[in-house]
Amino acid sequence: MNCPTCLSPLTARLYEGKIRLGQPGTRSAADHVIESCKSCGIAGLDIDPTDYTSDTYRTTVDGNHGVSEFPQIHDWEQASLLGAIGTKGLAGKGVADAGCGGGRFLDLVAGFTGGPTIAIEPTASFHAELKRKGHQTFHSTADAAAEWRNAIDLTVSFDVIEHVDDPVAFVGDLKVLTKPGGRIVVGTPNLDQLLLKLLPMDFGSFFFRQVHRWYFTPRALQLSLERAGLKDIRVRSIQRYDFSNLACWLRDRRPTGNAAIELPKY
Ligand SMILES: [Zn+2]
């Protein structure tokens, strides 16, 4: 397997063991190997591609494929995503979300921007609801580009780039949609994180996932975005899980989410 950014072979063995299949607590029957690129730090998992057009993927990762359940699972993170992007200068602007799922980020910004919202989602069962909510809805970035080439002010994609076969080409597709001078925001789990260093096997079997083809350090993401032709790139690490989660991992070796224990206040 070659690095999608540098094209050199992935040769550094990062992890070998069980990986997560879908929801927390699920584990693969077989061991899997994660190898990384010695040059840029991107890591890869050699697995069969996932079909994102059917409901199977959402059933695997969310435990259901229903539009009605999507907000319960994903709403908690939407405000932090908008907070990371910032609200300045969005009035009247067009926003596209590639891999938007049930479209909750677009729901959040639609009333605020007042501009067009473009929902790109391969899972067809989400489309009727996305359209009902007023989002212009497409199956793929290529379909969206037929109407919105170089026309989007802000193109976002959260937790998608780690799934695609060719991350550089994927970002290139986002660039095709985006106006010259517009913004592209790409979010992905951070490979360079403390829990993976503290509990490489326990946290690794939770962090590494059958549906994630690639794992990015901040530097690997920067290089992938550069290779896709983006300019003025800023990579930020955002801690979405709190110290309670870290402490519970160290104590229990399993995820608890945020605020599971009362922490001392100073
Ligand atoms: Zn590389």
* pLDDT score of 65 more than 60: no
- Report pTM: 0.91
Question: How many angstroms is it from 34 CA to the middle of ligand 1?
Answer: 14
User: Per-residue pLDDT for 60 more than 90?
Assistant: no
pLDDT digits (tens, 9 = 90+) for 121-150: 999 999 999 999 999 999 999 999 999 999
Bridge partner list, 232: none
Q: What spacing in Å lies between the alpha carbon of 158 and ligand 1's midpoint?
A: 22
Which residue stretches of the chain are H helix? 56-62, 70-74, 78-85, 104-113, 127-132, 141-148, 167-177, 194-198, 204-207, 218-227, 243-252
Give the pairing type, strands 117-120 and 136-138.
parallel
Using the mean position of ligand 1's atoms as its centre, give its distance from the Cα of residue 227 in Å: 11
For domain 12-235, the CATH architecture is: 3-Layer(aba) Sandwich (3.40)
Interval between CA 161 and ligand 1 midpoint (Å) = 15
What confidence score (pLDDT) does residue 61 get? 66
Which tens digit of pLDDT belongs to each residue from 1-57? Answer: 899 998 889 999 999 999 998 888 889 999 999 999 999 999 999 877 777 777 766
The Å distance, Cα 175 to ligand 1 centre, comes to 21
Ligand 1 geometric centre to CA of 214 (Å): 11
How many Å lie between the centroid of ligand 1 and the Cα of residue 10? Answer: 8
Cα–ligand 1 centroid distance for 41 (angstroms) = 6
pLDDT recorded at residue 22: 81
Q: Distance, CA 253 to ligand 1 centroid (Å)?
A: 31
